[in-house]
């Protein structure tokens, strides 16, 4: 029994298909890829012709996946990950500490700790380019959008090497102006207090949940998606906030409750020994070790 010759397609259309599937519009996809929207459309039409199936429904609101596209989407993502692995493994043969390293970490760690420590490191390795991605979620590391990440929780899946590089203390803080008009004692679960918190999309964060637990009787009067905005709101006297202690300069700690969170350095196992990756990992470990007192007073930084 004979077999039909397998279809072959041009790989270049697959990444475009994946980005359009994630973003949903030609304009956003074109901006991401630095292409013209018409070029994106042509690539998709060419891919559909090669596969002999329609991948997207075109609507005034954008492009939506067809049932056929949903069935092959996971296979395309698997292929994308395999190509990424191929490139990363190949680049690992170089012994030079050169090229790019992309680090995903919360913005407060980037601005208060890492960026300030970069000049000597970059002077030592002038051919190394550091790229910072500030985000509080894990998706960018899982999707291979970053080489390593600093997070306050361990990943639940993925082939990662995880080490604990510190521990961060958070407490309730308020401004002097706020405390002048509100009782300092947290009685009845914080009843009568106003609080500054995270917006609805980030209520699953440990710091957001801890704030609810420690003063459940308080009223949320302001929310934001960044710690910097919460700090500004707290400084302005809007209410109490749960803040990392190393960011709370000028604010007054309220009550005795503390939240201690482990800080994890997470990297892909398959590239961990690549020289530029290894050098950056050691740099980050040093940064957080030096920041021990600033982050949490007295902390054990062993793995």
The total domain count for the chain is 3
Domain with residue 289: its CATH number is 3.40.190.10
What average pLDDT does the structure give for the chain? 85
Domain shared by 253 and 219, yes or no: yes
**Dist CA 105 CA 132 (whole Å):** 8
Q: Is residue 228 part of a domain?
A: yes
Q: What is the pLDDT of residues 32-78, one digit of tens each?
A: 888 899 999 999 999 998 888 899 999 888 999 999 889 888 888 88
In a domain, residue 6? The reply is no
How far, in Å, CA of 154 to CA of 156, rounded? 6
280 touches 101 (CB < 8 A): yes
Which of 91, 115, 133 is the last residue before a domain boundary? 91
* Residues 140, 268 within the same domain: yes
Residue 8 lies in a domain: no
Is residue 2 domain-resident? no
| Domain edge (last residue) among 47, 64, 91 | 91
pLDDT surpassing 80 at residue 301: no
Q: What is the CATH number of the domain that holds 72?
A: 1.10.10.10
Looking at the structure, do residues 211 and 195 belong to the same domain, yes or no? yes
In a domain, 301, yes or no: no
Over residues 200-258, the pLDDT tens digits come to 888 888 899 999 898 888 888 999 988 999 999 999 999 999 999 999 999 999 988 99
Q: Is residue 284 part of a domain?
A: yes
3-state SS assignment for residue 78? helix
Taking residues 285-300, what's their average pLDDT?
A: 77
Q: Can you give the residue range of the structural domain that contains 139?
A: 99-164+262-296
Residues forming a β-bridge with 64:
57
| 173 plus 213 within the same structural domain | yes
Would you call 255 helix, strand, or coil by DSSP? strand
148 and 172 in a single domain? The answer is no
Q: Does pTM top 0.75 for this prediction?
A: no
Give yes or no: residues 177 and 218 share one domain.
yes
Closest CA to 175 of 224, 233, 136: 233
Instruction: Give yes or no: residues 157 and 266 share one domain.
Output: yes
| 34 within some domain | yes
Q: Are residues 74 and 188 in the same domain?
A: no
Report d(CA 131, CA 108) in Å as an integer.
16
Dihedral sign from CA coordinates of 133, 136, 142, 147: positive
* Domain identity same for 273 and 151: yes
Same domain? 154 vs 271: yes
| Residues 194 and 59 occupy one common structural domain | no
Any domain includes 46: yes
> Do 110 and 139 have their domain in common?
yes
8-state DSSP, 113: I
Question: What confidence tens digit (pLDDT) does each residue in 132-189 have?
Answer: 988 756 556 666 678 999 999 888 777 889 999 999 999 999 999 999 888 655 555 6
CB 175 within 8 A of CB 234: yes
Percentage of residues in the chain having pLDDT higher than 70: 85
Residue 89 sits at φ, ψ, to 5 deg, of: -65, -40
């Amino acid at each position: 029994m004979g077999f039909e010759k397998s279809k072959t397609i041009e790989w270049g259309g697959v990444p475009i298909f994946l980005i359009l599937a994630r973003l949903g519009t030609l304009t956003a996809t074109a901006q991401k890829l630095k292409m013209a929207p018409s070029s994106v459309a042509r690539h998709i039409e060419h891919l559909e012709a090669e596969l002999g199936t329609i991948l997207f429904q075109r609507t005034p609101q954008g492009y939506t996946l067809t049932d056929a596209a949903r069935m092959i989407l996971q296979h395309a993502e698997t292929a994308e990950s395999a190509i990424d692995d191929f490139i990363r493994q190949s680049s690992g043969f170089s012994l030079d500490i050169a090229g790019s390293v992309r680090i995903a970490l919360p913005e407060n760690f980037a601005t208060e700790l890492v960026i300030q420590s970069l000049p000597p490191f970059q002077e030592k390795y002038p051919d190394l380019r550091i790229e910072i991605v500030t985000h509080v979620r894990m998706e960018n590391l899982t999707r291979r959008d970053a080489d390593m990440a600093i997070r306050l929780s361990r990943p639940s899946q993925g082939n990662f090497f995880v080490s604990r590089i510190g521990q961060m203390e958070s407490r309730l803080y308020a401004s002097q102006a706020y405390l002048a008009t509100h009782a300092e004692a947290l009685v009845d679960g914080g009843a009568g207090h106003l609080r500054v918190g995270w917006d609805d999309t980030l209520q699953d964060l440990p710091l957001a949940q801890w704030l609810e637990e420690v003063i459940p009787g308080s009223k949320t009067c302001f929310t934001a998606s960044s710690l910097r905005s919460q700090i500004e709101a707290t400084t302005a006297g809007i209410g109490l906030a749960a803040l990392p202690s190393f960011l709370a300069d000028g604010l007054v700690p309220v009550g005795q409750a503390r939240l201690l969170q482990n800080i994890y350095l997470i990297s892909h196992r398959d590239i961990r020994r690549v020289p530029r990756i290894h050098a950056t990992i050691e740099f980050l470990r040093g940064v957080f070790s030096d920041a021990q007192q600033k982050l949490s007073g007295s902390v054990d930084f062993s793995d």
